């Protein structure tokens, strides 16, 4: 007459919970990488850009922006490919 006791182990995490945990990590990574890029760009302009011409400084900032875009693209594409087969054509 005893009720079923609680399982000794915790149940596996649901896909929805993992989805939101993964999404949260990617959002935090996006914010962190963007803030880091902005800080490094401001430090570059403030301290290291004195010897470069205006065009060279612009090129350095644009290249760093392309690297930022590549990092963020990799983070979000890996997330999006997880759901590529779920929706019909």
DSSP label at 49? G
**Overall average pLDDT of the 23-48 stretch:** 92
Q: Which residue has the tokens 């800080």?
A: 39
Mind spelling out the 3-state secondary structure of 33-45? HHHHHHHHHHHHH
Per-residue pLDDT at 45: 85
pLDDT digits (tens, 9 = 90+) for 60-80: 999 999 999 999 999 899 888
Per-residue pLDDT at 83: 75
- The domain spans of the chain are 27-82
**Overall average pLDDT of the 5-31 stretch:** 69
Q: What mean pLDDT value characterizes the chain?
A: 81
- Tokens encoding 71: 């990092």
**Overall average pLDDT of the 10-37 stretch:** 78
């Amino acid at each position: 007459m005893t009720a079923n006791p609680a399982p000794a182990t915790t149940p596996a995490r649901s896909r929805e919970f993992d989805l939101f945990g993964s999404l949260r990590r990617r959002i935090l990574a996006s914010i962190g990488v963007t803030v880091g890029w902005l800080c490094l760009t401001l430090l570059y302009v403030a301290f290291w850009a004195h010897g470069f011409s205006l065009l060279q400084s612009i090129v350095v900032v644009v290249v760093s922006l392309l690297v930022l875009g590549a990092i963020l693209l990799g983070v979000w594409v890996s997330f999006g490919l997880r759901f590529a087969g779920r929706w019909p054509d």
